[in-house]
Amino acid sequence: MSNRYIDPAPYDPDSEASTPARPDLDAPNWLLIWRKFRRHKLGLASGLFLLVSYLMMPFAGFIAPYSPNEIHRDHLYAAPQLVRLFHKGEFIGPFVYPEKATADLVNFKWDYTTDYENPAKLSFFCSGSKHRFLGLFETDKHLFCAPEGATVFLWGADRLGRDVFSRIFYGGQLSLTVGLIGITVSFILGITIGGISGYFGGVIDWFTQRVIEVLRSIPELPLWLALSAAVPSDWSPVAVFFIISVILGLLDWPGLARAVRSKFLSLREEEFVRAAEMMGAKPSRIIRKHLLPNFSSHLIASAMLSIPAMILGETALSFLGLGLRAPAVSWGVMLNDAQNLASIEIYPWTAIPMLPVIFVVLAFNFLGDAMRDSLDPYSYD
Amino acid sequence: MREKRLIKVRDLSIGFGKGPALIRDINFDVNCGETLALVGESGSGKTQTCRAILRILPKAARIHSGTAILSSPTGGCDLLSLSERELGDIRGDRISMIFQEPMHSLSPMHKIGAQVSEVLCLHRGHSKRSAKQEVLQSFARVGFPDPERVYRSYPFEISGGMRQRAMIAMAIIAKPDLLIADEPTTALDVTTQAQVLGLIKDLQQETGMAVILVTHDLGVVANAADKVVVMRKGRIMESGSVAEVIDDPAHGYTRQLIAAAPVIPHEANPSCARTIEDPILQLQNVSKSFDLRGGGFMSKGGLVKAVRGVNFTIGRGKTFAIVGESGSGKSTVAQIALGARAPDTGGIIRFWPENGATPLEVQTLEPEEKRRFQRQAQMVFQDPFSSLSPRMQVIDTLTEPLEIHNIGIRRERQDRAVELLEQVGLSPSMLRRFPHAFSGGQRQRLSIARALALRPSLLVCDEPTSALDLSVQAQVLELLEDIRDRMALSYLFISHDLAVVARIADEVAVMRRGQIVEQAAPDVLFTAPKHPYTKALIAACLEPSVCQKIDLDAVATGAGNPQSWPEEYRFKDMIAPELVETDPGHFVRVAL
C-alpha cells in the first residue's frame, strides 16, 4: 500500500515568535466584550432605549407640557387627544381639536364633545407653567403646549384632570432613580459582605451565609410593608423617596453578596491570583488589582438584572399606598389611582403608567442577559 | 487478502460562521480492522475533522464541501448528505465515539449500567433486562473486575481510567464497524493511558473494527496505529503508513514533531554518589495533612495525608525533579517549598540565600522576612491560560512584582520588562497587548518572564509544560534550560511525565501516594529502575518509534495497588518500607 501524501507547500518552522496567535483577540477586554455584546440586537436596542430614557429624565419638565400636579377642573378623566396635521384636508401643522366636558348626571360620568371647527394649533418652545430646568434655574419654557382655551392631553387626564403624559415623565424621574440608589446601597453592602465572606472564609463565611439564608427566607413584600410603614408620615416626599430606595437596597444585597462570594472563591483559585500571592502581594492589593477588575463585569451584569426588581418594588409599594405619597409622582403612585377596576374600564388610559414599567423592566432584563452572555469573550463561536 | 475499505473521506472542508474554510482538502481512507491516527497540535482541526464524520460539529461550523462514504454490504452512503434521521441509525450502531473527558461524557444522573444499556435498547431493540447480560459481558471484556458493581455505580463513584473503560464498553457494545476515539487518553495518567490503549487494541483484534484515533502524541501513534495523518492548521501535512511516516518523515513539520517528543534515555553512565556541597533548598521530614471539611465549621471531616515524610536537598544551580501521577502530592510539596502552605509540625524547609550563609527556615518566617524570601524563590505555573490576569497588559503583569517590592521607578521597571521579554525570546512589541491574544507557548514564556522579574535564585516549576503542545513543550524546556545556565538558577521541577524531566533534571524523585518511592540521577533511574512503580512509569512512556512495544504487565503491576507489588516493596498497613540507599546516590523504598 503506497498512498503516501506530503504537503507540497513550503514550511517555515519558526515563523511565529511574538506575533499574536489569536489576532481576533488582540484588544483590551472591554473591547472584546463590546464586540460580542454588539451582536445581541435585542440587548443593544434595550441598552439604547434605557440610555434615551435616562437622558430624558433631567429634561422632564421641558418635555412635559404641564407640571405634574397641575389640575384641570374642566377636564377630569379627559380622553387621550390625537395630534393631527390636516384640518379639512388642508395641512396646517400639528394641532388638536379642543374638547368640552359636560357632566352626564344619569351615568355619573363626564362626556366630552370635540369641537371639530376650531383647530388649536400647538406652539413650540412656548411658555407654560414654571419648572426648574435641569434643577438649576427656573423657567417656563416647554417643548410644546396647547394655545389658550385648549388642552393637549396626549395620554389623557386622570381623576383630577392632571396630564398623564406629563406625569409619566415626572414619575420616571423617581421611578428610574429608585433602582440606581437602591443598587448603590445593595452594591456597597453586597461587595463588602460578599468579599469578606469569600476572602476570609471559615467561620466568618459560614456565619454570613447563614445570615443571608435567613434574610432570604423572609417573605419580601410583608417586610417592605413593615419597613415602609415605619417611615414617619410627616417626612418630605424626597426624604420618603430616599428612604424607600435605601430599604429596597437593604433587602436586595444578599443575592449580590452571594454572587460576589462565589466569584471571589473561584477567582482565588486562578493561578494569576496565586502568582500574585507568591510574589508577596498583600490582600488589599490582590483584591484591588486582581479580583475586582476581573469580576467587575459580572457585577455590572448582575446589577442590571437586579435594578428591575427594585423598580417593581417601588411600584408595588406605591401602588399599595405605602411607598411614595402624593404630591410626589412615580409610576406606582399613578397606578395607585388606577386601582379601581371600574375606572379602568371606563377610563383605560389611567393604566397607561404600566407601559413604561413593563418596557423598562424588560429592557433591563434583556440588557442584563446580553451582558452576561458577552462576559466570556475569549471563545470562538 | 484485499483490504476492504470502510470509510472514504474526500475533499472535506469545514469553516466557521461566514468565514473561509479553516479545515481544507482533507482526504483519507480507513480499511476494516485498521487504525488510522489523526495527529496534530491544538487548533490543527483534527477533532473537528472526525466530528464532521458524525456531523456533531459545533453550531457555528459549516461543512463547505466533501464526501465521507461509509461502505456497507448494500453499497455505500455519504455520511455528510444523509438526513439527520438516517444518521441517527448509524451513530452509536455502526460508528461510535469516545471523547476526551470521560467525566463530561457520562451523565452523572444515571447509573453506568443504564447508560450503556441504552445503546442496545435504541439500536438492537433490547429491553432493559435482556440488555443487561450483554452489558455485563462487555464490562468484563473491558477489564472491570466486578461488572455487577460497575453496572450499579454512578460515574463519579469510579476513577477516571475506569470511567474511560466504561465509555469504551459503551462504544463497542453495539459492535460498531468504526470507533472514533478523540484523545481517549489525554486526560489520564500515563500508566492508565497505556492500559487503555492496550485495551482498544485487544478489542480491535477481537471484533475487527476500524479505529480513528485522534491524538497529539506521536508516541501513541507509533504504538497504536497502522496509518497516520499529520495535520497542521487545518491541512494535511503528511499521511501514510506509520512505519513510513515515523521512520522516515518527509515533511518538515513531522520531523519537528518527532524531534520534539521527549525520549527516555536508554544508555547509562555508572551510578555515582554525589554529595551536595552548596545546597540552596532542603526539605526535611515534611508532611502535610488536609482536613476534609464537611462544609461548616461545626462538622468534622477525616484527615488526608497528602505528603508523608519527604526529604530532599537541591544543590545550587541544579534541577531537582519530582515525578508522580495526579494525587501523588507533588504539587503540595512545591507549595510547601515556597512557603505558600505550612507543613505539619516537625517539617523543616531550609533555604540558603547564598553559599555558606545561615539558612532561613521558611516555615517559621515573619511576614517581612517572607517577602524577602519571596524575592528569591518564585513559581512558574501549569496553566498558561489561568496564570496571567486577562485584565492586565503584558507590561503591567511583568512590572507587578517590581511594584510589589518597590523596586525602581516607572522608567526602570519598563526597561526591565523589555529586558525580560527578550530573555524569554519574545519581542517588546507585546508590551501593550493583552495575554488572551497569545498562544499557550507564548503565555507560558510570559509567565516565566514574570517569575524572573525579581531575579530569583530558585524557581519552582509546577508542571510548566503539561498544558502545552509537544513542539511548544520542547521549546519551553529548552528556554528553561537556557535561562538556568545563564542566570545560575536552581529548579524544583514538578511533572507527571518522566520523559519530560529526563533531559532537564540532575536528580529525579518519583512520588506515589505522598511518599518518595525512588530517587536517583535520571540516567540511573531510567536505565536501572528498581521500584515497580518507577518501572511502570517508564514502561508506560510511549516513544515515537515503531519498534517499542508496551509492557502492559509491568504497567499494570506497578501502577496498581501497592499490595500487588513484590513482597519487599509492599506497604504494610499503609506504611511503606524505609527509603534506603541501594547504590550510591540511588534511594529506593524497599525492605531489605
- A138 and A187 assigned to the same domain: no
Count CB neighbours of A61 within 10 A: 27
In terms of CA atoms, which chain B residue is nearest residue A376?
B390
| Strand-pair partners of B519 | B509, B587
8 A C-beta contact, residue B404 and residue A285: yes
Domain membership of residue B515 (yes or no) is yes
- Per residue in B227-281, pLDDT tens? 999 998 888 989 999 888 888 888 888 888 888 887 777 665 555 556 777 889 9
From residue B366, give the alpha-carbon distance in Å to each of B287, B362, B403. Answer: 21, 9, 21
Return the pLDDT at B573: 64
Of the partner residues A18, A270, A381, the one whose CB lies closest to the CB of residue B430: A18
Chain A contact probe: residue of B44, B368, B370, B389 with most A CBs at under 10 A: B389
B308 membership: H or E segment, kind and range = strand B303-315
Chain A residues touching B401 at Cβ < 8 A: 279
Domain membership of residue B243 (yes or no) is yes
- Per residue in B66-88, pLDDT tens? 889 888 877 788 888 888 888 88
pLDDT at residue B413 tops 60: yes
- B75 and B183 assigned to the same domain: yes
**DSSP strands (E only) in A80-148:** 84-87, 90-96, 99-104, 109-114, 120-121, 123-133, 137-145
Is residue A354 classed exposed, middle or buried when 0-12, 13-18 and 19+ CB atoms within 10 A define those classes? middle
Domain membership of residue A70 (yes or no) is no
> Could you tell me if residue A322 is left (phi over 0), alpha (psi between -120 and 50 degrees) or otherwise beta?
alpha
Domain finish residue from A96, A120, A152: A152
- B163 and B188 assigned to the same domain: no
- A297 and A357 assigned to the same domain: yes
- B467 and B385 assigned to the same domain: yes
Of the partner residues A4, A28, A206, the one whose CB lies closest to the CB of residue B244: A4
Of the candidates B143, B198, B134, the one whose C-alpha atom is nearest the C-alpha of residue B166 is: B143
Count CB neighbours of A70 within 10 A: 16
Of the partner residues B338, B404, B426, the one whose CB lies closest to the CB of residue A18: B426
Return the pLDDT at B574: 66
pLDDT at residue B320 tops 90: yes
Of the candidates B193, B101, B163, the one whose C-alpha atom is nearest the C-alpha of residue B498 is: B193
Of the partner residues B256, B297, B383, the one whose CB lies closest to the CB of residue A202: B297
Better-scored residue on pLDDT, A379 or B202 = B202
- B141 and B10 assigned to the same domain: no
Angle B52-B55-B61 from CA coordinates, rounded to 5°: 70
- A144 and A214 assigned to the same domain: no
Domain membership of residue B7 (yes or no) is yes
- A97 and A234 assigned to the same domain: no
Return the pLDDT at B271: 52
Domain finish residue from A152, A187, A204: A152
- A139 and A197 assigned to the same domain: no
Nearest CA to CA, how far is A367 from chain B (Å)?
23
| Strand-pair partners of B182 | B214
B134, three cell numbers:
450483554
Q: What is the full DSSP assignment across B445-507?
A: HHHHHHHHTT--SEEEEESTTTTS-HHHHHHHHHHHHHHHHHHT-EEEEEES-HHHHHHH-SE
Domain finish residue from B477, B506, B528: B528
- B230 and B308 assigned to the same domain: no
Into how many domains does chain B fold? 3
- Residue B350 sits in which domain range? 279-294+301-389+457-528
CB contact under 8 A, B388 and A272: yes
B154, three cell numbers:
454512578
- B379 and B498 assigned to the same domain: yes
From residue B392, give the alpha-carbon distance in Å to each of A192, A291, B25, B436, B455. Answer: 24, 12, 40, 10, 22
- A194 and A124 assigned to the same domain: no
Domain membership of residue A30 (yes or no) is no
Q: What is the full DSSP assignment across A189-232?
A: HHHHHHHHHHHH-HHHHHHHHHHHHHHHHS-HHHHHHHHHHTS-
Of the partner residues B253, B400, B436, the one whose CB lies closest to the CB of residue A279: B400
Q: What is the full DSSP assignment across B317-358?
A: T-EEEEE--TTSSHHHHHHHHTTSSPPPTT-EEEE-SSTTSP
- B137 and B212 assigned to the same domain: no
B231 membership: H or E segment, kind and range = strand B227-232
If pLDDT is split at 50, 70 and 90, which confidence band does B499 have? confident
B77 membership: H or E segment, kind and range = strand B75-78
Domain membership of residue A231 (yes or no) is yes
- A252 and A125 assigned to the same domain: no
pLDDT at residue B522 tops 90: no
What CATH number is attached to the domain comprising A177? 1.10.3720.10
- B254 and B290 assigned to the same domain: no
Domain finish residue from B138, B160, B175: B175
Task: Give the DSSP letter of residue A365.
Answer: H
- B363 and B384 assigned to the same domain: yes
- B140 and B54 assigned to the same domain: no
- Per residue in A137-168, pLDDT tens? 788 888 888 777 777 888 888 888 888 888 89
Domain finish residue from A120, A152, A184: A152
Domain membership of residue A52 (yes or no) is no
Nearest CA to CA, how far is B402 from chain A (Å)?
9
**A100 touching B, CB under 8 A?**
no
Share of chain A above pLDDT 70, in %: 94
B447, three cell numbers:
509567565
Domain membership of residue B2 (yes or no) is yes
- A88 and A210 assigned to the same domain: no
- B8 and B51 assigned to the same domain: yes
- B181 and B62 assigned to the same domain: yes
Nearest CA to CA, how far is B380 from chain A (Å)?
8
Of the candidates B272, B270, B249, B274, the one whose C-alpha atom is nearest the C-alpha of residue B259 is: B249
Chain A residues touching B434 at Cβ < 8 A: 25-29
Return the pLDDT at B270: 54
Cell 504539587, located at residue: B331
What CATH number is attached to the domain comprising B363? 3.40.50.300
- A241 and A292 assigned to the same domain: yes
Question: Is the ipTM beyond the 0.85 threshold?
Answer: no
**A284 touching B, CB under 8 A?**
no
Domain membership of residue B425 (yes or no) is no
Alpha-carbon span A351 to A349, nearest angstrom: 5
Domain membership of residue B575 (yes or no) is no
CB contact under 8 A, A294 and B374: no
- A145 and A183 assigned to the same domain: no
C-alpha B543: how far from chain center: 15
B111, three cell numbers:
447509573
- A147 and A172 assigned to the same domain: no
CB pairs under 8 A between A and B: 133
**A36 touching B, CB under 8 A?**
no
- SS3 call for B532: helix
Of the candidates B347, B324, B346, the one whose C-alpha atom is nearest the C-alpha of residue B337 is: B347
Query: Half-sphere exposure of A2 toward its Cβ, with a 13 Å CA cutoff?
Result: 0
CB contact under 8 A, B58 and A381: yes
Return the pLDDT at B546: 67
From residue B323, give the alpha-carbon distance in Å to each of A72, B331, B534. Answer: 87, 10, 10
Domain membership of residue B381 (yes or no) is yes
Domain membership of residue A17 (yes or no) is no
Domain membership of residue A96 (yes or no) is yes
B534: amino acid identity, one letter: T
Sequential pLDDT tens for chain A (381 residues):
446 788 777 776 655 555 666 677 777 777 888 888 888 889 899 999 999 999 988 888 888 888 888 888 887 888 888 888 888 888 888 888 888 877 778 877 777 888 888 888 888 888 877 777 776 778 888 888 877 777 788 888 888 888 888 889 888 888 888 888 888 888 889 888 888 888 777 888 899 999 989 888 888 778 777 877 888 878 877 788 788 888 878 888 888 888 888 888 888 888 888 888 888 888 888 888 888 888 877 788 888 888 888 888 888 888 887 777 777 888 888 888 777 777 778 888 888 888 998 999 999 999 988 888 887 666 544
**A342 touching B, CB under 8 A?**
no
Biggest CA pair distance of chain B: 82
* Least confident span in B1-5, B193-197, B301-305, B535-539: B1-5
Torsions phi, psi for B203 (to 5 deg) = -65, -35
**A30 touching B, CB under 8 A?**
no
- Radius of gyration of chain B from its Cα atoms, rounded to whole angstroms: 26
If pLDDT is split at 50, 70 and 90, which confidence band does B296 have? very low
- Per residue in B361-373, pLDDT tens? 888 888 888 888 8
Give the A window 173-212 contacts with B, CB below 8 Å.
202-203, 206
* Least confident span in A212-216, B9-13, B337-341, B576-580: B576-580
8 A C-beta contact, residue A37 and residue A371: yes
Return the pLDDT at B389: 87
A367 membership: H or E segment, kind and range = helix A354-373
Domain membership of residue A209 (yes or no) is yes
Alpha-carbon span B464 to B485, nearest angstrom: 18
Return the pLDDT at B386: 85
Return the pLDDT at A380: 46
CB contact under 8 A, A280 and B404: yes
Better-scored residue on pLDDT, B513 or B273 = B513
* Least confident span in A328-342, B124-138, B185-199, B257-271: B257-271
Domain membership of residue A26 (yes or no) is no
Is residue B277 classed exposed, middle or buried when 0-12, 13-18 and 19+ CB atoms within 10 A define those classes? exposed
- A147 and A204 assigned to the same domain: no
pLDDT at residue B460 tops 90: yes
Domain finish residue from B146, B175, B204: B175
- Residue A128 sits in which domain range? 81-152
- Radius of gyration of chain A from its Cα atoms, rounded to whole angstroms: 28
Chain B residues touching A204 at Cβ < 8 A: none
Return the pLDDT at A13: 60
Alpha-carbon span B161 to B158, nearest angstrom: 8
In terms of CA atoms, which chain B residue is nearest residue A290?
B389
Into how many domains does chain A fold? 2
Q: What is the reported pTM? A: 0.79
